[in-house]
Amino acid sequence: QSLPQQKLLTWLSVLECVEVFAEMGTARVWGEMGRWTIIVLIQLAKAILRLLLLLWYKAGIQTSPPIVPLNREQQQPLHTQDTEDNSSGKDQTYVGRRSSRVVRSLQSTPSLQSRHWGSPQQREESQSRRVEEMNQPPTPLGLQETIAESIYVTRPLLHLLSLGVWGQRSWKPWLLSAVLDISSLSLLSDLKDLNKRERAELRRRTILLLYYLLRSPFYDRYSEGRILLLLRLLADYVPGVGFVTRPLMDYLPAWQKIYFYNWG
């Protein structure tokens, strides 16, 4: 990735990290008008950055979060002693004479912090696979797939526009957003040879369709009573579950009112 593309991804990641805090803080200081103003500004900035990545830098299907969090345990390099043993000609493994089991020799055992339970060869293979997965270029998108990704990127802006036109209690913004999400996934479903990261992103978007059960006005008219009844039954009749379901019942109304938790 080029340096400008990395900067765009960084700014996009920062926006996704602070959007809920910005919405709640602005609502506390400037009220409802300030809250919706900051929501529109953040969604507009995110859409512009994502469109630049899609159309200018050909970034393909974009993941959320834009920058994959670093797993330090997986990215930990091979122990330096392994390299020293290779250079000195010492054997890292021992093969049992009767069992033919491959075990690490005591001479090449790393420190406790970097110790693992696989053989050195297995660790090298898994690290090389992870490096290949991280370095895989994005799948080139045709016209249909570019339109589908553009629909997904601009869906929040169209939803906000529809809220301003028809109001928060209308079904039209809910239906419009659902149609756009389903259309985007349908157009992207024909794309073949996706890498592992892109397949995981499409699965995540498919699972997030369940959020429509928790979004107003569907939640207010249909889901709220059933979800609260289910949580109450679990808390009353399943031992130990109440420690999770009772705080969740108290938290759901506040969570449902925050736009970026629900629609972001």
The verdict on 207 and 180 lying in the same domain is yes
The verdict on 208 and 153 lying in the same domain is yes
Whole-Å CA distances, 222 to 67, 96, 218, 227, 249: 36, 65, 6, 9, 16
| Residue found under tokens 């498919």 | 206
Q: Please say whether the beta carbons of 87 and 194 come within 8 A.
A: no
Amino acid 6 reads: Q
What pLDDT is attached to residue 112?
Answer: 60
Q: How many domains does the chain have?
A: 3
The verdict on 211 and 158 lying in the same domain is yes
- How do the residues of the chain divide into helix, strand and coil, expressed in percent and rounded to 5? 70, 0, 25
Indicate whether 120 belongs to any domain.
no
**pLDDT under 70: residue ranges of the chain:** 70-92, 104, 106-135
Q: Give pLDDT tens digits for 166-179.
A: 999 999 999 999 99
| Residue found under tokens 């506390």 | 28
Indicate whether 167 belongs to any domain.
yes
What pLDDT is attached to residue 109?
Answer: 61
Residues in contact with 35: Cβ distance below 8 Å, sequence separation at least 6, in sequence order: 23, 26, 27, 259
The verdict on 182 and 237 lying in the same domain is no
Indicate whether 76 belongs to any domain.
no
Q: Give pLDDT tens digits for 89-131.
A: 445 677 878 887 877 676 666 666 565 666 556 666 666 666 6
Residues in contact with 197: Cβ distance below 8 Å, sequence separation at least 6, in sequence order: 63, 68, 133, 136
The verdict on 206 and 148 lying in the same domain is yes
Rounded to an integer, what distance in angstroms lies between the CA atom of residue 172 and that of residue 166?
7
What pLDDT is attached to residue 254?
Answer: 87
Cis peptide before 65 (omega within 30 of 0): yes
What pLDDT is attached to residue 129?
Answer: 66
The verdict on 1 and 37 lying in the same domain is yes
Could you list the residue range(s) of the whole structural domain that residue 246 is in?
A: 222-262
What pLDDT is attached to residue 253?
Answer: 87
Indicate whether 79 belongs to any domain.
no
Rounded to an integer, what distance in angstroms lies between the CA atom of residue 230 and that of residue 48?
41
